[in-house]
Amino acid sequence: MGWNTPAPEPRRKNDNRPSESDAIAGKGAIGPFAAVTVLFFFWGFITVMNDVLIPFLKSSFELSYFQAGLVQFAFFGAFFVISLIYFAFSVSGGDPINRVGYQRTIVAALVICAAGCGLFSPAAASKSYAFFLGALFLLATGVTLLQIAANPYAAILGRPENASSRLNLAQGLNSLGTTIAPIAGGLLLYEVFAKDGKVTLDAIQIPYLIYGGMFLALAVVMAFVHLPRIHPEGSTPTDGAVNALGFPQLKLGMAAIFMYVGSEVAIGSYLVSFIGDPAVMGWGEGIASLYLAFYWGGAMIGRLCGAIAMAHSANPARKPVLMVATAAVLLGLVYLVTALRFEDGRLQTSFLPLVELWPFVLMITVCLGAFAIARGKPSAVLAIFSGTLCLLLLVAVCTTGKVALWVALGTGLFNSIMWSNIFTLAIDDLGEHTSQGSSLLVMMIVGGALLPLLMGAVGDAVGIRLAFLIPIPCYLYIAFYGWWSQRRIAAKEAAA
């Protein structure tokens, strides 16, 4: 195994750089990048709240798995609808973000998120499941616009050779939000705002009003933060692309995003039910939801370690030490948050015996080893992680008890780098079509709307454990995309 970093590509005439490249490719990019990463945290937090919301609404409205899956259908369906509208506008009248600017788009998106959260209160008062789905759609509209703007902005804001590393770092903050969300959501819904020990629809009102206030406060902050305007340069004349769909790396990447998001969301959506299966652990929703922190915390560990592994560094020998230290600190954080309990009106802790964590530690070790084998190449990491996920899902379905529990939770580690790696591989060399390509990739988040429904229908028919086989073909395709991307990049480097 080695940690050699691929040599940076020489800058080409039409490289996808900010117009203020000298100012924001170096230290000047740190402040704006830090501000943008805060957005990743917040949309990760609010998105994973759906995993807590699904069992909550399922029991409140007495829904089937398929009906409960409509939560993700409404939320991630918005990604498809809004991104499609965005793409249509960009083709007919030019890219909206290039005209409006990233900053104004981000502020407007945050206000829309706040409005969506605000609708949860009247939805609970009316006891209408359809109202909840509408509120989720509006909330997801804001998140969609955030994703369309923030992902390419984070990728472009700095040296091009570190784009994948930057997105992994930003996604690590996203994973911090997804790690905290199940804990915070579970405590608020099942403990703090439950009445007389009973969970009712009223328990959902105050938490989402709090979330809405957080989005409004962030909108005010982002309105005054200095974010440099970025104008991507045009693509090369030989591209022959009228719009972003003329690039094969984008078209294949769109399918990969669909497969990845659908699989990750489907697994997260039904992990509580999987853990609660008598053949696995048989735990209730309140306890099982706490363990979601290991799934999303694993994603945080993988993404931040990936940011280190795939960064271009003058001293690659330091990477293993930094990655092990990062993984240890983050595992400690996940261990701490999963120990939190709200009992008898006060916050308490109940720690797992450390010896029980060894399966998760083993999977972290495998994850770090995979980064070393891939030598910092995003396409290679993508292929290796996808193959590992296929094996983990097979083991989760074919085993029981704690083995099935920890293997299922460990899939988060290997889902970790997929968004950032697929995204940067897909927008590579898109030039002036970058924002348009971003909207198409965000559109494919609709996989998170459809695959949970399929998985829920299979769960209703044959049981939720067997339904965990559904994502395996998706990961096989992502492995293919990693292999194809590696061949494309090698051909490009040979021709340079």
Burial of 471-483, coded b for 16+ CB within 10 Å and e otherwise, reads bbebbebbbbbbe
CB 341 within 8 A of CB 300: no
**pLDDT number for residue 284:** 78
**What pTM, to 2 d.p., does this model score?**
0.75
Q: Is the pLDDT of residue 256 over 80?
A: yes
Q: What is the CA radius of gyration of the chain?
A: 22
DSSP H helical segments within 94-162, as ranges? 96-100, 102-118, 120-126, 129-156
Q: At residue 98, does pLDDT exceed 70? A: yes
Q: Are 298 and 338 in contact (CB under 8 A)?
A: no
CA–CA distances in Å: residue 219 to residues 36, 139, 213, 230, 336: 12, 14, 10, 20, 30
User: Looking at per-residue confidence, does 427 or 361 come out higher?
Assistant: 361
pLDDT at 253 over 50: yes
Closest to 257 measured CA to CA, from 127, 80, 394, 495: 80
Average pLDDT, the chain: 82
Q: Which residues contact 424 (CB under 8 A, 6 or more apart)?
A: 155, 163, 164, 167, 378
Q: Can you give the pLDDT at residue 346?
A: 61
pLDDT in the model for residue 21: 46
CATH topology of domain 27-495: Growth Hormone; Chain: A; (1.20.1250)
pLDDT at 139 over 90: yes
State the DSSP H helix or E strand holding residue 264, giving kind and residue range, or none if neither. helix 248-276
Structural domain spans, the chain = 27-495
Given a cut of 90, is residue 415 above it in pLDDT?
A: yes
Residue 125 has pLDDT above 80, yes or no: yes
Confidence of residue 345 (pLDDT cuts 50, 70, 90): low
Averaged over 303-324, what is the pLDDT? 82
pLDDT band for position 252 (50/70/90)? Answer: very high
